[in-house]
Amino acid sequence: MCIVGAGAIGGWIGTRLAATGAADVSAIARGATLAALDTHGWRLEEHGELIAAPARVAASPADLGEQDVVVLAVKATSLGSALDLVAPLCGAETAVVPFMNGVPWWFAPDLTLDSVDPGGQIAAAVPYERVIGGVVHASCASIEPGLVRHATGNGLIVGEPAGGPSARVAALGDVLRSAGFEVTESPDVRRDVWYKLWGNMTMNPVTALTGATGDLVLGDPLVRELCSTAMREAQEIGARIGCPIAETPEDRHAITSRLGALRTSMLLDVEAGRPIELDALIGSVHELGRRLDVPTPAIDALFGLTRLFGRVQGLYPSS
């Protein structure tokens, strides 16, 4: 198994796999992360302890050869540039497992979503049939190159994009459980992707725009209702694409409230001056709404405001 993107989530997964011996794991890395992994190995701060394990790492995929599984744990904004790293790792039976934020390129195989895969470039490089869908329910941060801090959550969801069980999903689930993850083999991983997005698509842009933590966002009645309105719009889209959500926005807010002063991934990216994953997290929902003729005024407002903010700050493309 090879990890492409040994940052926060990739480092968490890679360290666990290596430290437990659950899999023969390697990584593709560049720059400071490559140097850190080469020097120190995998490192993970978890429950106040440092977990470490030797790392097999390379800058070129040709040095590692074909893999049974490739875990894609890059930011959505970096996926296009990572495609050249994935192809040499793939043999005839290699599965690619994206553990990424937002709507992925494989989510709607009958549609090419320009917001996440302009021109179908990603789908051409990593076709639908090769993908095992993945969803992460955990909070991790890369506190320096090659060193990850795990804060909360231990859940990984994996499943066939087309739904139903499969031998390869069962085998992957067994490996991940052996590394200590709480694994769900989902019969409909698209619904799991959409459900996670349902909360992230509002909390991420609002925290990025305001600099507020999650508790402050939900503590303001006007902002909370804006989030709820956008979520109701997304529920209608979900119902149209086979991803219904039975909960109310208030049900989901209650779950988010338990996380306290949440610093979303987009807020952390803004603070660090990194490009924001706006298209995957809300631009994709905006695009789906337009294609399905579902009115999305609240989603459109959140997307437009955050897009403008990102452009002014140099964190989102100008065109």
**Residues with a known catalytic role:** 196
CA 278 to CA 258: how far, in whole Å? 25
> What is the residue whose two structure tokens read 């793939």?
90
Q: Name residue 4's beta-bridge partners.
A: 28, 72
DSSP state of 128: G
Can you give the C-alpha Rg of the chain in angstroms?
Answer: 19
Q: How far apart are CA 34 and CA 13, in angstroms?
A: 16
CA dihedral sign of residues 219, 225, 229, 235: positive
Q: Would the CA dihedral through 100, 105, 109, 115 be positive or negative? A: positive
Nearest to 14, CA basis, from 48, 55, 46: 55
Contacts of 83 (CB under 8 A, 6+ apart): 121, 122, 125, 126
Provide DSSP, 183-196.
Answer: EEE-S-HHHHHHHH
Whether the CA torsion 95, 99, 105, 109 is positive or negative: it is positive
Cα–Cα distance measured from residue 220 to residue 217, given in angstroms and rounded to the nearest whole number: 6
